[in-house]
Amino acid sequence: MTDAALSFVHRFEPATRQDAPPLLLLHGTGGDENDLIPLGDMISPGSALLSPRGKVLEGGMPRFFRRLREGVFDEDDLRARAAELAGFIAQARAAYGLAAPIAVGFSNGANIAAALLLTQPGVLAAAVLMRAMVPLANPPAADLAGNRVLLLSGALDPIVPEENAARLAGQLRAAGADLDHRVLPAGHGLSQADLTLARQWIEAPARSAA
């Protein structure tokens, strides 16, 4: 269903499996609330899917926060947008009866998810960050102990330098996240390996608990 009643235009798909964790789907630049629904279905069948549309427009393309140019973020706007998104997540959890979600973000969506982890700890249960880069040069001290994070980088990514992805991994580890960082033989676009790794990683806690 698509519902604009909460603070973000978004799409919500109810769970069809009680043991499947809810996913927060965060699209890349130019995407919308429909973009990652098929990906969510593939990597966690049966999960409740919550997919908001970014409120910032860049040349008519939705994003989750402003940037000054490619790779250079407006960090004040990013912090404010992360807080706004955290408020929406709380609204949606109450409206739909959801547990804390696993964020699954691609590109711009992965960057706002990383910012949520670092500035709004406790909002997300875990995160899959696909082609993320450092969101904040000097993030606040965050306690991410107990938060699982899967960071999927592309070795041939022309937008996210290898050094930048490694720096983000360092920030997350320093905050105490249980981080799995994989560098794939891919560019900025997603590959089948991304989907396979994401699905295996999301399923892993369920297998270990069984």
List residues with catalytic annotation.
107, 157, 188
**Taking the alpha carbons of 52, 175, 167, 157 in that order, is the dihedral positive or negative?**
negative
Rounded CA gap, 49 and 28, in Å? 16
Sign of the Cα torsion 59, 62, 67, 70 reads: negative
Q: Are 152 and 134 in contact (CB under 8 A)?
A: no
